[in-house]
Structures are given as structure tokens and as C-alpha cells.
A and B are shown apart, each in its own frame.
Chain A
Amino acid sequence: MLIKLAGGKVYDPMHGVNGQIKDIFIRNGRIVDKPSKDETIHKTYDVKGRVVMAGGIDPHTHIGGGKVNIARMMLPEDHEQDLVSRTPLTRAGCGHAAPSTLTAGYRYVEMGYTAGFEPAMLQANARQAHMEMADTPIIDKGAYVMLGNDDMFMRMMAQGVEQEVMNDYVGWTISNFQAMAVKVVNPGGISAFKFNQRQLDLDEKHTHYQITPRDVLKTLSRSLVDLKVQHPLHVHGCNLGVPGNVETTLDTIRGMEGLPMHMTHIQFHSFATEGDKNFSSGAARIAEMVNSHKNISIDVGQIMFNQTVTASGDTMRQYAGHSHGSPNKWVVMDIECDNGCGVVPFKYTDKSFVNALQWAIGLETFLMVDDPWRVFLTTDHPNGAPFTSYPHLIRLLMDRSFRNDMLHTVNKEAADMTVLGSIEREYSLYEIAIMTRAAPAKSLGLTDRGQLGVGAAADIAVYKEIDNKEKMFEKPEYVFKDGELVAKNGKIVKVTQGTTHVIKPDYDKSIEKSLDEFYKKYHTVALDNIVVSDDEIIDEGRGSITQHHCSREDTNA
């Protein structure tokens, strides 16, 4: 089957294509060269005047795993108010802030996204996370496994094992839990919380293991470089949400000494302490630091004014923030003595000084970081806002007058404290294509996604070009997943099953011996049973695994 998308304005930053008129040909789910004249084209879509981009990739979205489920269970009102009926094609679902797996998949596709990555998969919850992702239709998915707070890691750090041994442990974890990268949440802090520490600064020692977050970050980042893992260490830093944490964040970046690192939802880590209320924006300093450190990439974790729910592995900070929860209910729990989980519902309002400033800090960060290849568009779904608010966010970035109109409606004191109104930058479609497609794909090492080059997977979104960018990005005219038309004008027309992206770094299997002993002694589940096999994901053909090579080149650090 040969499909032609004729005459679209193509934005493909991976190949420097910026709005040129081009035909795109698809065969067997892949983008192919222009076929010879005598070949029959089975189907032609006239996309003249339409914007053609690769399918969107969300590099940080909580769509599977234990805490999303807790959020779902905790918020029946969220589900009751947002019911989605079944159609002949799609199944029923519900949920605004924490949608059901099926609804999440459909909604992503309906707005032109074709991949989403669950950033916080605990080892003990890996099976659950993969099962939930298997239930998320159409989009591709993958997960980042959480390290840096588990007892095994902390013990090894405290014993001062050699980097090679640590590399084996990290490699074993990635491979056996079917992960795409490694995330660290509040390095050492989740563990320290259980030893009655209620905060842990970058250079503060864990009272039991006597190691600091800085040690954890450097060791893990070094491991990933040694294992040639493409995506840098995905870091949710110390002191989330604490006024003044901008210093910690800057210190963290400096402390990496050139090692690659991805700082996630950096908006929550960019608070300074100026002004009467001891709360102000540190976005300018963060942006300056990111601009001058090429080893750093970020995603923003923009907040939107709406009811949502925060779900994080960071028990320490979720516990500290539980009193702000709305509605007033919360969960902070330990997971198998290995990690944590905290779920606090949140209602961000534009009348609140803090929320309004958070909103402005996120936008400032977007607009002040020069290189769109190193800043990804996220709301840390659902922590800042549900992913369905991306079109609105894109409009805020692309339309200065709209942004300033919005700025006039938020809390006045906060509006007076931000420089947002004076920033003139407006993102172009090319830059949006970078930050929502090409950059995440490049950062994750998805060699055949996020682009429209020959040989790439035909994940394509076609938008009508209209001035209101929110409307434009809300409902693409066509969405193709692996060459099949899956959505048309924001409605699902075909349901397929996406693949699971994984990496399998090389490591010395002898590490399993000491792990086996550890699991026998301390864990509730045996080593052989906790790991997730390929067969479980493939599930007799229902899912599939796409393995990427670990071949990171810039190991100069």
C-alpha cells in the first residue's frame, strides 16, 4: 500500500525542513522515497496548505504505574465529571486529570501525539506500569526506571563499590524492567524521608547511609554515560517547590561537571526568595545556566489554572505539600521499602499569587532558553496540568498578544513580579516542531521517530494552519500512526497498538548473584519474579518491543 500526502508544508527539524512544500510517501508504515512513475499510488491525501509534522512525542507524562492508579482511585469526582462514552471503535473511559489508560491513548492521538513516556516506573511497580501502558492504545510508549533511592543502590553507594559494579546494577535494572532511561527523584531524599529527614539539600548527608544527593547524581550520570545510554539521567532534583530552590538547581547543574543531565519539570525547581512574600522567579538565572551548559536539557512542567492531581515519587516533598491539597485528601506511601509515592490533588488558580507566579515562571523558562533542542514541552502530566492543555500552552508560546492578555487576568502582584510581559519572543512552528517532536526523539535516541526523513516510521500529524494555534493543535486534520490513518479531525478512526520502546545496555550478568542474595534477604518478591520479561510485553502479539541501541557518542565528559 502506497500512500501520498500531497503538497503539505512540511516541518521536519531533524532534516532542517522548515515549511517547504513537499510530498510525503508512505509504504508499509515507513516513509519512503518518491516512487517511480509507473508505480500505483493507492491513496492520495490532498494536504495542500496544511502543516505536516511528525507525530508528537511526550517525554514526560505519568500514564502508567502505581501512583497514577492511586490518583484514579482517590478522585472519583474527577472521573464522574468527565465521562467518555464508548463508540463503535473506541472503548468507554473517564477522567480529566487522571484519565483511564484507554482515554489517555485516544486523547493523545486526537491531538496529534503518537508517543508518550512514563517517567517514573518503580522496580516493584514495573509490571503494573507496563500492563497499564499495554492498555494505552495507539501511541508508542516507554518508561524510565527509578533509581537512586532504592536500598540496594544506597547500600552499594555507602559501601563505596566501584563504578563498574554500579554500572552493572544500573544496566541490569534498565534491561530487566524494560526501561528506556533512568530517572532519579529527589536523589536519596525518598530514602532519607524514611529515616525521619524532612529535607535533604544537595550536599546534605543521608543520616543512615552518609551519602549526599550530589554523590547519587554523579554516580548515576556516570553509569549512564559508561553504558552509552542515549537519554541522559532524568533528574527530578532536590527541594521541589521550596522557595529558594533555584540555588539548589543551579548548584546541581554546576556540580555535574559536564556530565549529561536532563532536569525535569524545572518550573517547580526555579523559585527564588525575593519580594515581600519571599517568593519570586528564578527562571532567568536557570535559563542563563541552561544556555551556557550544553550538557543540560530540560522540560518545563508548565502549570495551568485548573483542577489536577500531583502524583510523584517524591514522598518528602509531597508530604510537605499535602496541606495545600484540594480537595483535601492525600496519600503518601512507601513502595516495597524501595521507593515512595505521594499523590496530592491540586487546584491551581489564577487568583493565587504563588500559582500565578508558577505559571509565569514556566513560560519565562520556555521563552528565555534559546535552544529549543534542549527544552521540551511538558506539563508533567498530570502534575502541572493534564496533557490535554498542550494546545493552549502552544498558543501561549506562539502568540504574544494572547499571552499578555492572559497575564492581565492573573493575580496582580504576581503579574507585577514577572518579566513575562516584556518578553517579545514568539515560538515559530519550526521551533514547536523541535520541542514537541524532534528534540525528545533525539534526546531519547528514537532514531526513526520525531522526523519525516526517508526510512522513518510514518507517525505523522497534519494540521490546518489557522491563526488560533490552540484550535490548530487541538484537532489535527489527519493523524497517521505507522502509516495508518488513526484520527481524522480530532476523532479516532482506527485503533492500533503502539510498540514499547526499550534499551538493553551491556552489563556483567554476575551482578545477579549478589542481587539474588539481597532479594532473598530483604524483598517480598524473588528476583526471578520481579523482573519483566519480553514475553509479558509482547503478550502473544498484542504488544511489541522496539529495542534501541546504546550508542551514545558524546562520551567526552
Chain B
Amino acid sequence: MSQNKMIKPLTFTLKEKLIQRIDLSALIPNQLEGKPLEKIAKIKIAVGNKKLTVEKLFDIGGEDTQKIIFKKAVDLFDSIGRNMNQGSIEVRGSVGDRAGQDMNGGELTIKGNAGDWVGTGMRDGRIEVQKNARKFLGGALPGQSHGLRGGTIHVFGDTGERTGDKMRRGMIVVEGNTADYTGSRMIAGTIMICGQAGSNTGFGMKRGTIILSDQPTSMPATFNECGSFELAFLKLIFNSLANSNQRLKNLKENSSWVTRYVGDLSIKGQGELLILQ
């Protein structure tokens, strides 16, 4: 093990300014495992409508394929960490769309902003977005029946519309605000929003739980207020989040008294919005 620690993470540093979008789904720990650097350098990556080798696009350093670092990342980096199921990827900079799509394990850390559809179809693992994310975080692609299916997505900043759209399982934590239609068409799972949620929060929710620190801008008329409760499970969630993440340690102080709204009655009506008091 001590020897392993000496191995430097595999780093890809973008060489030149990109003009077109680039699909990085090939560079994930489970794909690169056991491959020599020369082979990795020859992997072809789609750039716009062309295919270029990794060595043309990136300076390659380090060798630990289970710990990948992208440097000078920009928001044209699509599908980063797609289908990964082990190891870790750290992105220094921003990423484009579909980061962590269909992820099944491992850890994806994005130090900048993320585009649309972060963690769509993800089953397991952890995604951390340290700035803001755009639309459909943990949401379903057009025509897909599920968004997030498991695992955790943690956003330090704000997210765009339809956060958690059609999500099925797992947890989304947003420290900032979310835009409109948060938790739309949600099937199950948990979303926690520490900031302010936009209008129509919970639209078309079947089941699932959205925990809000404030009243959202609006919610559909098909939600019913069910009174105030002290819910013991909230304490458990808060504690587990606070213990596992330094940034969320203040959650421990939250009270577990909430106002509970149940809906969306136009669908199955078993979802709940819990607004902390």
C-alpha cells in the first residue's frame, strides 16, 4: 500500500483552447485500468465531428488510472465520468453536459460549474459540484423513464430548472438555490435545498421527499398542507450528512419540526414537501 501512495494521479491537461465540444466518456478509471500510458495516449476522442487522440488534446502526466485529474477543464467537456464505476475523477475547471451520466460507483468532483443533466441515469457513487450546475441536475434525458437512480449529488452553489426531474432513488443536496420545477415528475428519492426553491416546486411528483429550508416561490395548487410535525427521520438524515461532510456540519443544529405539504394530487399524490420551521 505504501508503494501505491507514491504513484501520482493520472492527469490530463488541456493543451489548446477548444472550439468544439468534446466527449470524454472514454477516460474513466474502469476503462483505463491496467492500460499502459502509450495506449491511453492513443485513445480516440470525439471532438465536434472529428476524432482526435488523447495525446493531441492533452498533456498526460502521472500514472494512477484509478485517480484521474483533468486540468484546465472548460465547459465544453461533455460526458465526463460517464459509466464510471470505481476510482475517482477530479476536474479542475468547469464541465459541459451529462457529467457522471449512468455512473455506477466512484467519485466525481467538479471544482467549477457543471452543465445540464449532471448524474442523469446514475445508479451509485458520488458527484460533487463545487460551484453551480445548470438544468436537469439528476434529471431524466428526453424519453428516458428515470433521472437519478441512486447515489448522491452534492452541489455547493445553485442549480437550474427541473432539478431531480423523474428521479427514482438517491439523494440530491443543493446548498444554494434551485430554479423552477424542482423535483418535477419525481418518482422517489430525496432532494434537500438549503437555499430558495423556485416556482412550481414538486410539480407532478409521485412519491419522494423534498426538504426545503424556506417556503418555495410557489408550489402547484394540487399540494395540500397537512400541518406541522416533528419528524424523527430528519434528525437521522441531518446527522448522517453532517458527519460525512464537513461543509454540512451546521445541519446538526436544524430542528426536525416541519410543515408538511403532500402532493402532487394530480398524479399519485404521495410526494411530500417538508419546509423546515
Interface residues of A (CB under 8 A from B): 73-77, 327-329
Contact = CB atoms under 8 A, between A and B. Distances in A.
A329 B146 CA distance: 11
B141 A76 contact: yes
Interface string B124-153: 000000000000000001111100000000
B145 A329 contact: yes
Contacts of B144: 76-77
B140 to A, nearest CB: 10
A329 B142 CA distance: 14
A107 B141 CA distance: 28
Given A76-B142, A76-B143, A77-B143, 9 more contacts: A73-B143, A74-B143, A75-B143, A76-B141, A76-B144, A77-B144, A327-B145, A328-B145, A329-B145
12 contacts: A73-B143, A74-B143, A75-B143, A76-B141, A76-B142, A76-B143, A76-B144, A77-B143, A77-B144, A327-B145, A328-B145, A329-B145
Contacts, number: 12
* Chain A to chain B: the 5 pairs with minimum beta-carbon distance, closest first: A76-B143, A327-B145, A329-B145, A76-B142, A77-B144
Contacts of A73: 143
Nearest to A77: B144
A328 B168 CA distance: 14
Contacts of A329: 145
Nearest to A80: B141
B154 to A, nearest CB: 26
A77 B143 CA distance: 8
A267 B141 CA distance: 36
A75 B145 CA distance: 10
Contacts of A77: 143-144
Nearest to B143: A76
Contacts of A76: 141-144
A328 B187 CA distance: 14
A329 B144 CA distance: 10
Nearest to A78: B143
Nearest to A79: B143
A76 B141 CA distance: 9
A74 B143 CA distance: 6
A78 to B, nearest CB: 10
Interface in B142-181: 142-145
B161 to A, nearest CB: 20
A224 to B, nearest CB: 40
Most buried by A among B141, B142, B143: B143
B54 to A, nearest CB: 19
A201 to B, nearest CB: 35
B45 to A, nearest CB: 14
Nearest to B101: A80
Contacts of A327: 145
Contacts of A75: 143
A310 to B, nearest CB: 17
Nearest to A327: B145
Interface string B72-92: 000000000000000000000
A76 B144 CA distance: 7
A478 B61 CA distance: 47
Contacts of B142: 76
A74 B142 CA distance: 10
A328 B146 CA distance: 11
A327 B145 CA distance: 8
A351 to B, nearest CB: 21
Contacts of B141: 76
Contacts of A328: 145
A77 B141 CA distance: 9
A74 B144 CA distance: 9
Contacts of B145: 327-329
Nearest to B142: A76
B78 to A, nearest CB: 13
Nearest to B49: A86
A116 B142 CA distance: 31
A506 to B, nearest CB: 47
B87 to A, nearest CB: 23
A329 B143 CA distance: 10
A418 to B, nearest CB: 34
A329 B145 CA distance: 8
A73 B144 CA distance: 11
Nearest to A86: B49
A325 to B, nearest CB: 11
Most buried by B among A73, A74, A75, A77: A77
A92 B206 CA distance: 38
B149 to A, nearest CB: 12
A186 to B, nearest CB: 28
A327 B142 CA distance: 15
Contacts of A74: 143
Nearest to B51: A85
B147 to A, nearest CB: 13
A74 B141 CA distance: 12
B138 to A, nearest CB: 17
Contacts of B143: 73-77
A77 B146 CA distance: 11
A436 B142 CA distance: 39
A95 to B, nearest CB: 13
A74 B145 CA distance: 10
Interface in B93-150: 141-145
B26 to A, nearest CB: 14
A328 B145 CA distance: 8
Nearest to B146: A327
A327 B141 CA distance: 15
Nearest to A75: B143
Interface in B167-221: none
A13 B154 CA distance: 67
A486 B145 CA distance: 40
B9 to A, nearest CB: 30
A211 B102 CA distance: 52
A458 to B, nearest CB: 36
A272 to B, nearest CB: 35
Nearest to A328: B145
B255 to A, nearest CB: 40
A310 B21 CA distance: 36
A328 B143 CA distance: 12
B267 to A, nearest CB: 16
A36 to B, nearest CB: 52
A352 to B, nearest CB: 21
